[in-house]
Amino acid sequence: MTRRGLLTAALAALCACSKAAPPPAAPAPAPSTARDVVLFLGDSLTAGYGLSQEEAYPALLEARWRAEGRPRRSRNAGVSGATSAGVLENLSWSLAPDVAVAVVCVGGNDGLRGLDVGELEKNLDAIVARAQAAGVKVVVAGMRMPPNYGRDYAERFAALYPRVAAKRGVPLIPFLLDRVAGLREMNQPDGIHPNAAGHRVLAETVHSGLLKAGLL
């Protein structure tokens, strides 16, 4: 082949390469449909008032589950100052498609404000029912009021949690603050909000409740 022929052939090959269709793009990965989130609904006790997010019991639980190889993530939806009505109002924002389990701990602020126990029970029942309707497994975490709020009020307050849990057929953690409430070494100076040591106990209490319910 002459020199001109070689040059022509090279140019033709170059043009052919430049006109070749690019390789097809790799398909985008399908969005995850796993339901592996444990959602924590509550108030400042869940939010971890006065602590870093990493010290609050929902984060402690996720760290434990990761270390144990459990297929669970935690999502802290606790809001300081929230009442049961506030949690119910914002529930649609919290029940994302990846939520498998919801731990519901509401009522502390209702009780501290002396709100009607019947309204608290109604709101808690509605929260549980709406979560169940979304296909979410629910665990109710009970709360208690100190006797200085009145014996009758404290008794009616404590009784509503097992009643709602039984009505809806969901597991009950009898008292979220078990081994924490009233203990100076487990609480911040206000005597209401658990400190870092208290949250470690809360994490153990909730973990045991979830494990017993077969939700881990």
pLDDT of residue 32: 53
Which domains does the chain show, CATH number per domain?
A: 37-212 (3.40.50.1110)
| pTM summary value | 0.85
Tokens of 152: 């009758």
Q: What is the mean pLDDT of the chain?
A: 90
Radius of gyration of the chain (CA): 27
Is there a catalytic annotation at residue 193?
yes
Q: Tokens 């935690």 sit at which residue?
A: 74
Out of 44, 74, 84, 94, the active site residue is 44
pLDDT in tens, 119-159: 999 999 999 999 999 999 999 999 999 988 899 999 999 99
pLDDT in tens, 170-210: 999 999 999 999 999 999 999 999 999 999 999 999 999 99
pLDDT of residue 33: 64
Is there a catalytic annotation at residue 92?
no
Beta strands in the chain (DSSP E): 37-42, 73-78, 99-105, 137-141, 172-173
Higher-confidence residue of 7 and 61: namely 61
Is there a catalytic annotation at residue 44?
yes
pLDDT in tens, 90-108: 999 999 999 999 999 999 9
Out of 94, 193, 199, 207, the active site residue is 193
Out of 18, 32, 52, 190, the active site residue is 190
How far apart are alpha carbons 179 and 144 in whole angstroms?
13
How far apart are alpha carbons 183 and 186 in whole angstroms?
5
- The answer to whether residues 60 and 125 touch, using CB atoms and an 8 Å cutoff, is no
pLDDT of residue 68: 98
